[in-house]
Amino acid sequence: MAIRLTRAALGLGIAATTALTLTACASSKSSDTGSKFNTATSAQAGGGMSALVSAAKKEGTLNAIALPPSWANYGELMSTFKKKYGIKVNDANPDGSSADELTAIKNLKNQNRAPDVVDVGQSFADQGKSQGLFAPYKVATWNDIPSTLKDPGGSWFNDYGGYISIGCDTSKVSNCPTSIKALDNPAYKGKVGMNGDPTKANAAFNVVWAAAFANGGSFDNIQPGINFFAKLKKERIYVPVQTSQATIESGETPIVLDWDYLNAAAADALKAKGRTFKVAVPSDAQVAGYYAQAINKNAPHPAAARLWMEFLYSAQGQNLWLKGYARPAEMVAMQKNGTINKQYAAKLPPVSGTPKFPTAAQSSKATNVVTQNWSSTVK
């Protein structure tokens, strides 16, 4: 979703598919039914929620991208939106990355199949804004989103987040690690994987940052994390395959470094098969991160894009993310106003302390370091 590796990887991404890398051969204009919402910065600016719903229904379609149904409960989110408004949701390249999403916006410009909306890792949200790809928009619950989790002008706004965690299949591993540094153990040879390539996927990128923190690094120094994985790779502990439900169930990656909400979902799936998948936020590296929503400036279905945002940031949408073990951006406000689903909240993997987040400059610097040094160091 996405740096979201698949989100196969929170988001940097796998190579774009051919359909996303080819320049458009034909173009089409945005639907006339949503024309008044092409530049609307809020539902009110376009005539109000009733007008927005009406225009979106006339468009009849929402083009999403890189949203695996099992990622943060997106399957239920998409089906609920479709049932509620009668709008078809096209989810292109479900296992794509944040990088793929921005590529699609650029290469499919003015085509009906271009993405209307994206869900990307934070560094890609910053890139998209700087490249002028997004349409500013503020949902009705804008004030419930913490100021630290949104662009002041509305170009992007965080949606859900979590912590990097260690998932461990107890049927394959007798002594599950609870810290990053503990992974450097011969007993884990050929067992440790993460969700994607850190040069392309946000989840994997944040795993490297967690490894950096566990080995003396910081938001200003991600290199120790790269060095740690180089060591694990040399010792054949780290398996460079993109983890998924399939690799976990097959036993190919019994130890998975990923967002806690994805590992928690995997735990549910394995429990149904009579297996136990333990999930722990590492004691030596509590790294939290959010994905961000944004609207394509040239969305072929501008009204549907904006209605999707209103749905996601309603109590219903936020609680559906929570149901998928992801911490919604409006969680604090919902706890205060009583709209949060307490049952879902109680099932979140436990953590302690106050999460810290990098600045845009720190994130950009770390992204550049990983992009330049990962492949040459981890080999």
pLDDT in tens, 325-369: 999 999 999 999 999 999 999 999 888 777 778 887 898 899 999
For residue 91, what are the β-bridge partners?
64
Q: Which domains does the chain possess?
A: 18-160+289-346 (3.40.190.10), 163-288+358-369 (3.40.190.10)
Partners of residue 121 on adjacent β-strands: 291
Contacts of residue 358, Cβ cutoff 8 Å, sequence gap at least 6? 209, 219, 366
Closest of 267, 239, 75 to residue 165, by C-alpha: 267
Q: How far is CA 360 from CA 42, 91, 167, 330, 365, in A?
A: 26, 29, 29, 21, 9
Tell me which residue of 196, 192, 203 sits closest to 235, measured CA to CA: 192
Whether the pLDDT of residue 14 is over 70: the answer is no
DSSP single-letter state for residue 134: B
Instruction: Work out the mean pLDDT of the chain and round it to a whole number.
Output: 90
Distance CA 376, CA 160 (A): 33
Predicted pLDDT at 356: 77
Instruction: Give pLDDT, residue 9.
Output: 34
State residue 33's pLDDT score: 52
With 70 as the cut, is the pLDDT of residue 3 above it?
A: no
For the CA atoms of the chain, what is the radius of gyration? 20
Task: Please give the Cα distance from 93 to 116 (Å, whole number).
Answer: 14
What tokens does 122 get?
A: 């934070």
pLDDT confidence band for 24 (50 / 70 / 90): very low
Residue 34: what pLDDT? 52
Average pLDDT over residues 72-85: 98
Cβ atoms within 10 Å, residue 38:
18
Extract the tokens encoding 342.
């307490």
* Per-residue confidence (pLDDT) for residue 32, from 0 to 100: 53
